[in-house]
Amino acid sequence: MSDSTVYLDHAASTPMLPGAIEAMTPYFSEVYANPSGSHRFARQARRAIDEARDDVAEVLGVRPNEVVFTSCGTESDNTAILGAVSRIGGVAVCAAAEHHAVLHVVEAVGGDIVPVDGFARIDVDALADLLDEHSAAGRNVAVVSVMAVNNEVGTVNDVAAVAAVVRRHAPGALVHTDAVQAPSWLDLRALTPHVDLLALSAHKFGGPKGVGILVERGGPRIDPLIIGGGQERERRSGTHNVAGIVAAATALRSTDSERATEIPRLIQLRDRLVGELVEQLDDVTETIPRAGGEFGVEKVAGSAHVCIGGIESEALLFLLDEADVCASAASACASGAMEPSHVLAAMGVDREVALGALRLSLGHASTEADVDRGIEAITSAVTRLRSHRPTRTTS
């Protein structure tokens, strides 16, 4: 990535924090032993993992023995859901706007999908009704999953309220949250008391790719997904990524300590980015309102999701890439045809509107210059695309 690149895709992956890079470097060339070994060199590597686990536990407000290191957020989500179904037996349940790391797993085990409202928040009344139906039919519910922060539109779910519904209507079920998008925006200590299982991914908060975290509160509650080596107290086998784990803990500590100052800064940048796009371009809809008080909607500071009329995301992203601006769309290209995001579809967003979706996301590396250049590039690209639209003729 060149110095001229404008990076507006932090929800996909964040650049690593300098402190995390510095922390992991010695474990490539100096402390490279396998931490599962018995000699002194191995014990040094194992001590680094133990210290990292302590740091992660402190930020999350849990006990160190409740922290399990995995390879990514997807593995953590898969382990939580598949492990709960395997250990407890019964049905898995999730919201329709979940990340595919949850949604596809629940679908694969024949679970149930709960609708969401127009802001991508789970419908708690529909959840309660579904859980009551299973109870009346004598069916067990193994796990209910609801993400803390939506990865596309930035909505914050009231996980505490969802957990309360589960405790009342399916007391034997585990509550899982995909909190991958949460660390930069939410104090996780306020989240963990309400859940049994929580998933994180280091590269979303300034750590390296290839490291995930799974919190399993209250001791072993689920079956492991990966077996064979006995690592992580037999909850996740496989040789530890020592350098990555150390860096992940460092990044999580840094993110936690800087959150209070970063959020106001990024709110200002986000509001200017979206505000200028709405002002300079016609037919731009902010998917989740920034000032959501009248709707009771909470949205994270880094999320700037919009839908732009008269264009398609695929063409817009091509022009932005040419302008050295990194962004993404809440849609995917399947079989040569653009299909709307499942999140926007679940929210009830019209298909034609959803085809113009643009996900812009800010993070710790975002600057005023990024926002200025992003506004310029997006307005220029949209204007160019709209100028080439075929005009309708009347006879």
Residue 153 has pLDDT above 80, yes or no: yes
Note whether 151 and 180 are within 8 A (CB): yes
Q: Which residues of 82-120 are buried (b: 16+ CB within 10 A; e: fewer)?
A: bbbbeebebbbbbbbbbbebbbebbeebebbbbbbbebb
Residue 43: CB partners within 8 Å, gap ≥ 6?
A: 37
pLDDT digits (tens, 9 = 90+) for 333-370: 333 445 779 999 999 999 999 999 999 999 999 999 99
The continuous run of DSSP H or E covering 29 comes out as helix 26-29
Specify the domain boundaries for CATH 3.40.640.10 within the chain: 18-254
Amino acid at 274: V
Summarize the confidence of residues 220-234 as an average pLDDT. Answer: 94
Q: Which residues of 301-315 are buried (b: 16+ CB within 10 A; e: fewer)?
A: bbbbbbbbeebbbeb
Summarize the confidence of residues 57-72 as an average pLDDT. Answer: 98
Tokens of 272: 């200017």
Label residue 224 by pLDDT band (50, 70, 90): very high
Alpha-carbon distances, residue 1 vs 190, 219, 321 (angstroms): 36, 43, 12
Lowest pLDDT segment from 244-253, 270-279, 305-314, 330-339: 330-339
The continuous run of DSSP H or E covering 100 comes out as helix 100-108
Alpha-carbon distances, residue 297 vs 121, 212, 359 (angstroms): 9, 29, 18
**Whole-angstrom Cα distance, residue 135 to residue 152?**
33
> What CATH number matches the domain at 18-254, 3.90.930.12, 1.10.150.120, 3.30.390.50, 3.40.640.10?
3.40.640.10
Provide the 10 A C-beta neighbour count for residue 133. Answer: 12
Provide the 10 A C-beta neighbour count for residue 395. Answer: 2
**Whole-angstrom Cα distance, residue 289 to residue 306?**
10
pLDDT score of 395? 42
Residue 292 has pLDDT above 90, yes or no: no
Alpha-carbon distances, residue 94 vs 124, 212, 385 (angstroms): 11, 21, 38
Three-state DSSP at 339 gives: strand
The model's pTM is: 0.94
pLDDT score of 383? 97
Specify the domain boundaries for CATH 3.90.1150.10 within the chain: 6-13+259-387
Evaluate whether the domain defined by 6-13+259-387 bears CATH number 3.90.1150.10: yes
Which residues form the catalytic set?
Answer: 333
**Whole-angstrom Cα distance, residue 29 to residue 50?**
20
Summarize the confidence of residues 204-227 as an average pLDDT. Answer: 96
Q: What is the residue-wise DSSP string for 167-221?
A: HHH-TTSEEEEE-TT-TTTS-GGGTGGG-SEEEEEGGGTTS-TT-EEEEETTS--
pLDDT digits (tens, 9 = 90+) for 86-142: 999 999 999 999 999 999 999 999 999 999 999 999 999 999 999 999 999 999 999
